[in-house]
Amino acid sequence: MDAFAENRLLSVLLLSHRKLRWVWNRVNIKRELQINFVMEQSLTPAKWEFLLEAPIGILHGESIEWLGEIAFFRKEIAFFFMLLEKIIDINSQHKTLLSIENQLIDLSSKKLDELNMDVQRHEEFLAVIIKTRRHDESIYRSKHNNLSKKFREFEKEMKTFKRNFFQVVEKINNNCT
């Protein structure tokens, strides 16, 4: 494959990812803006306490949103694996690409799977609370707080991975021209 074809393939793949991300962002822009504002700008310990006192249905709704975002992360990671495979096929910088692949494997097979299982167990625990009314909701709320922190941390790791990934792709693309 000549350099022009390689550059074209990388451009098409990057454009596809940008379009996918653009659609996702437009669908969730309002929600993301609200969450980012609350989480990054104005969340003091007192406000955390207030949010943890929200009705349990609100916390359940947030857990369901996390499961939806986890499903999207899975699709996004699959896309990155496909893109990485195509880049490896046309490029010789295997050490850098293998490092990126290892990061992707860590994100998908360890951290994302663990987060998904934690959220599912959290939802199962809520079902037990609602059904039996024998458990203290404060345990659920405390676990919800911990899961929220874990979810935000995973989101940060995904953003960092994507930033690094695109820097490597840009570097490869610049070396090809």
pLDDT digit string, tens, across residues 75-84:
999 999 998 8
pLDDT at 156 over 80: yes
Looking at the predicted structure, is the pLDDT value of residue 36 above 60? no
For 31, the token pair is: 């929600």
Answer yes or no: pTM beyond 0.75.
no
Confidence of residue 34 (pLDDT cuts 50, 70, 90): very low
**pLDDT tens-place string over residues 42-58:** 445 555 555 557 788 88
Q: Please report which confidence band the pLDDT of residue 163 belongs to, taking 50, 70 and 90 as the band edges.
A: very high
More confident residue, 98 or 15: 98
Tokens of 24: 């996702």
pLDDT tens for residues 90-128? 776 667 788 888 889 988 888 999 999 999 999 998 888
**Cβ neighbours around 67 below 10 Å, total:** 14
DSSP the chain: --HHHHHHHHHHHHHHHHHHHHHHHHHHHHHHHHHHIIIIIS--HHHHHHHHTS-HHHHHHHHHHHHHHHHHHHHHHHHHHHHHHHHHHH---HHHHHHHHHHHHIIIIIIIHHHHHHHHHHHHHHHHHHHH--S-HHHHHHHHHHHHHHHHHHHHHHHHHHHHHHHHHHHHHHHH-
